[in-house]
A and B are shown apart, each in its own frame.
Chain A
Amino acid sequence: MYEFEFEKPSTVAEAVAALADEEAQALGGGQTLIPTLKQRLAMPSKLVSLTGIAGMSGVSGGDGVVSIGGATTHAEVAAAAAGAYPALAALAGQIGDPAVRNRGTIGGSLANNDPAACYPAAALGSGATIMTSTREITADDFFQGLFETALEEGEIITAVRFPVPQKASYQKFLQPASRFALVGVFAAKFTAGVRVAVTGASEEGVFRWNEAEAALDANFAPEALDGLSLDAGGMIADLHGSKEYRAHLVGVMAKRAVAAAG
Chain B
Amino acid sequence: MAKVSMTVNGKAASGEAEGRTLLSSFLREELGLTGTHVGCDTSQCGACVVHVDGKAVKACTMLAMEADGAEVSTIEGQANADGSLNVIQQAFQDHHGLQCGFCTPGMVMSAAALLKDNPKPSEAEIRHYLEGNLCRCTGYHNIVKAIMAASGQDVSSIAAE
Contacts and interface: CB of A to CB of B under 8 A. Distances in A.
| From A5, A97, A98, A99, residue with most partner B Cβ within 10 Å | A99
A112 to B, nearest CB: 14
B132 interface: yes
Interface string B52-72: 000111100111011010000
A99 B57 contact: yes
Interface of B: 2, 18-20, 22, 41-44, 46, 49, 55-58, 61-63, 65-66, 68, 110, 113-114, 129, 131-133
B16 to A, nearest CB: 13
A34 B48 CA distance: 15
Nearest to B48: A99
A27 B66 CA distance: 10
A126 B44 CA distance: 30
B128 to A, nearest CB: 9
Nearest to B18: A3
A34 B66 CA distance: 12
Contacts of A3: 18-20
Contacts of B43: 31, 34-35, 99-100
A75 B44 CA distance: 18
19 contacts: A3-B20, A4-B19, A6-B2, A6-B19, A6-B63, A30-B62, A31-B43, A34-B43, A34-B62, A37-B20, A47-B63, A97-B46, A98-B110, A98-B113, A99-B43, A99-B57, A100-B61, A102-B55, A102-B56
B133 to A, nearest CB: 8
Interface of A: 1-6, 8, 27, 30-31, 34-35, 37-38, 46-47, 49, 51, 75, 96-100, 102-103, 177, 179
Given A38-B41, A98-B110, A179-B131, A103 B61 contact: yes
